Chain A
């Protein structure tokens, strides 16, 4: 009964809370695992971007941002020049 009242006031079942939390935690754990993966991810992003624009190779930063219920990949790149036409790789 108490539970029914709590649910009425918008409290989520604990299993849902657990699942949501685990989604975030596991993603973070998996990303955390390998610095070399981050490095190759960075290089791949660089590769794709340079087909469209000239970028400052040194300036690229790739970070994982941990929010309350999400994990985001945030990348900052300095653009020097944008090509008129995409260069094929």
Chain B
């Protein structure tokens, strides 16, 4: 198998799995790798709208698995990068329309063709999770600095390890540096000490993320976006590049001046 299959999961919903897949996938495509993204959230499809590809869907993941179409027919090419594509989830089906070994076969086939295969996992730890994880060689767990997300992340990490998926990395999403500094939010170090999984990157909380999903254009296309920069770094680390972690200073020039005056 040539390519790498990576599942992006979290346990808790709404922590940014889909955004993460869209941005890392797009960034790696920008680096000229062949990338395929699978939306495994059957019944609650979302990767298509985040990527801005919702108008192009004809066939979906379940159609591929049931043989209603040829595989390339369900693979939707990105608007900007021809080496980036995604397989949408079925919207009107149930999670048990797919079985783990079917998913595994599909992922193996895709890995022959692509350098990176990302699987956008549904929230929860039921059938949909098991399907999404079945074909993955590596897992990215996304969490936010909230107790509920961290607890669920820990549970998911336990399940992954029990299922023999040991290559697990962590992304902390929506970290608010200002709140961390005030002592009102757990820091990266706090979260790492709790979860004990290697860190892939920290994405700062940012309005840009909402704006980019509104438009259906991944953040990494934009210059000067801090969250976009974080995703760029994450993609580079995934790709084996050695990118040092930023220090948690978290603010720009003006804040530095303000601190200087205060001190």
Asked whether A13 and B184 contact (CB < 8 A) given A29-B151, A30-B154, the answer is: yes
Decide if A19 touches B194 in the complex (CB within 8 Å).
Answer: yes
Q: How far is the CA of A21 from the CA of B150 in the complex (A)?
A: 11
Determine the chain B residues whose CB is within 8 A of the CB of A13 once the complex forms.
182-184
Decide if A22 touches B183 in the complex (CB within 8 Å).
Answer: no
Q: How far is the CA of A38 from the CA of B158 in the complex (A)?
A: 16
Q: Which of A10-32 contact B (CB under 8 A)?
A: 13-16, 18-19, 21-23, 25-26, 29-30
Asked whether A14 and B184 contact (CB < 8 A) given A19-B190, A29-B155, the answer is: yes
- Answer yes or no: A33 CB below 8 A from chain B CBs: yes
Q: How far is the CA of A83 from the CA of B147 in the complex (A)?
A: 49
Which residue on chain A has the smallest CB distance to residue B189? Answer: A19
Decide if B158 touches A30 in the complex (CB within 8 Å).
Answer: yes
Q: How far is the CA of A53 from the CA of B193 in the complex (A)?
A: 38
Determine the chain B residues whose CB is within 8 A of the CB of A22 once the complex forms.
147, 150-151, 186, 194
What is the size category of the interface that chain A forms with chain B? 10 to 19
Please pick, from A16, A18, A29, A33, the residue contacting B147 in the complex, using a CB distance under 8 A.
A18
Q: How far is the CA of A31 from the CA of B157 in the complex (A)?
A: 14
Determine the chain A residues whose CB is within 8 A of the CB of B154 once the complex forms.
26, 29-30
Q: How far is the CA of A23 from the CA of B158 in the complex (A)?
A: 15
What is the size category of the interface that chain B forms with chain A? 10 to 19
Q: How far is the CA of A26 from the CA of B190 in the complex (A)?
A: 13
Q: How far is the CA of A22 from the CA of B147 in the complex (A)?
A: 7
- Output the least CB separation between B40 and chain A (Å): 24
Q: Which of A31-83 contact B (CB under 8 A)?
A: 33
Asked whether A26 and B183 contact (CB < 8 A) given A19-B190, A19-B194, A33-B158, the answer is: no
- Output the least CB separation between B209 and chain A (Å): 22
Decide if A14 touches B183 in the complex (CB within 8 Å).
Answer: yes
- Output the least CB separation between A30 and chain B (Å): 6
Decide if A25 touches B151 in the complex (CB within 8 Å).
Answer: yes
Q: How far is the CA of A15 from the CA of B150 in the complex (A)?
A: 13
- Output the least CB separation between A7 and chain B (Å): 9
Which residue on chain B has the smallest CB distance to residue A26? Answer: B154
Decide if B194 touches A23 in the complex (CB within 8 Å).
Answer: yes
Which residue on chain A has the smallest CB distance to residue B150? Answer: A22
Please pick, from B158, B183, B193, the residue contacting A15 in the complex, using a CB distance under 8 A.
B183
8 residue pairs of the A-B complex, CB under 8 angstroms, read A15-B180, A15-B185, A18-B186, A19-B186, A22-B147, A29-B151, A29-B155, A33-B158
- B-side residues, CB < 8 A to A, are 147, 150-151, 154-155, 158, 162, 180, 182-187, 190, 193-194
- A-side residues, CB < 8 A to B, are 3, 13-16, 18-19, 21-23, 25-26, 29-30, 33
